[in-house]
Amino acid sequence: MTRRTDWAEYAYPDTPRGGSRAGDTWSAGTGGEMRGHVPAHDEDGGSPSSSRAEKGEPPGDPVERARAICLRLLTGTPRTRKQLADALRKREIPDDAAEEVLSRFEEVGLIDDGAFADAWVESRHHGRGLARRALARELRTKGVDSALIDEAVAQLDSEREETTARELVARRLRSTRGLDRDKRLRRLAGMLARKGYSEGMALRVVRQALEEEGEDTEFLEDDGV
């Protein structure tokens, strides 16, 4: 992986190492670490009518403009190639200039959809408890290739998914006490379904949790969840 400072050197080759460039959103710190942020209103690259000067974009050359846009967006958070391409299209960057910059960023490792997908799966499963199906759906909306999605979600096996499902149910179980048995089952299983868990796993995990509380689930229907 190319060092983060090489990113700035590529986008602005005339910027001295260790320095900062007026008007840009990054500054180089000790050890070459990049620091900075992307303004919340500019996450999609802005609108064509926005002032280029205010955005810190170089005038004229569309390749230089594309570099500046991508640099600014990637400084705030990782992006997929499609997300950056969409941002460049909104700023009316010509297709050939966009392709040149995106391919160069991909070549040096600044765009890596596979790494993006791996990190997304780990973060969203750990933080939100999302299952493989929901994670794959989110990655598709971000333009990640199907093969890369399959590799990323393969990090989660059925055993890990079920462990997470049990943890999610355990955290919600108390809030359903006082409801009748069927409503508890549907509410908890529905919560898991919305996070991408299969119906079979959701019902099994919820039933086991209810049984541990003394609920009789033998005659509960499987449908209607």
Query: Burial letters for 2-36: b for 16+ Cβ neighbours within 10 Å, e otherwise?
Result: eebbebbbbbbeebeeeeebeebbbebeeeeebeb
Residue 222 lies in a domain: no
Per-residue confidence at 199, pLDDT binned at 50, 70, 90? very high
Closest among 83, 76, 73, 72 to 144, alpha carbons compared: 83
Q: pLDDT value at position 19?
A: 37
Q: What is the pLDDT of residues 25-34, one digit of tens each?
A: 333 332 333 3
Q: pLDDT value at position 178?
A: 87
Averaged pLDDT score across all residues of the chain:
78
Residues 25 and 42 placed together within one structural domain of the fold: yes
Q: pLDDT value at position 59?
A: 63
DSSP reduced 3-state for 71: helix
Residues 9 and 88 placed together within one structural domain of the fold: yes
Q: pLDDT value at position 217?
A: 62
d(C-alpha 78, C-alpha 7), whole Å: 13
Tokens 């969409």, residue located: 86
Sign of the Cα pseudo-torsion (118, 26, 61, 17, in order): negative
Q: How many domains does the chain have?
A: 3
Q: What is the pLDDT of residues 157-180, one digit of tens each?
A: 999 999 999 999 999 999 998 888
Residue 164 lies in a domain: yes
Per-residue confidence at 55, pLDDT binned at 50, 70, 90? low
Give the pLDDT mean for 119-123. Answer: 96
Residues 13 and 102 placed together within one structural domain of the fold: yes
Residues 103 and 9 placed together within one structural domain of the fold: yes
Range of the domain at 129: 113-153
What angle separates helix 113-128 from helix 132-141, to the nearest 10 degrees?
Answer: 140
Residues 179 and 200 placed together within one structural domain of the fold: yes
Asked whether residue 207 carries a pLDDT value surpassing 60, the answer given is yes
Residue 217 lies in a domain: no
Closest among 40, 13, 36, 4 to 23, alpha carbons compared: 36
Q: What is the pLDDT of residues 62-115, one digit of tens each?
A: 999 999 999 999 997 899 999 999 999 999 999 999 999 999 999 999 999 999
Asked whether residue 152 carries a pLDDT value surpassing 60, the answer given is yes
Residues 10 and 89 placed together within one structural domain of the fold: yes
Top pLDDT among 53 and 135 is at 135
What angle separates helix 132-141 from helix 146-153, to the nearest 10 degrees?
Answer: 150
Residues 12 and 103 placed together within one structural domain of the fold: yes
pTM exceeding the 0.85 threshold for the entire prediction:
no
d(C-alpha 46, C-alpha 94), whole Å: 16
d(C-alpha 156, C-alpha 47), whole Å: 38
Residues 78 and 167 placed together within one structural domain of the fold: no
Closest among 191, 177, 195, 178 to 225, alpha carbons compared: 191
Give the pLDDT mean for 4-9. Answer: 37
**CA contacts within 13 A on the Cβ side of 194:** 9
Q: pLDDT value at position 60?
A: 73
d(C-alpha 120, C-alpha 135), whole Å: 8
Residue 121 lies in a domain: yes
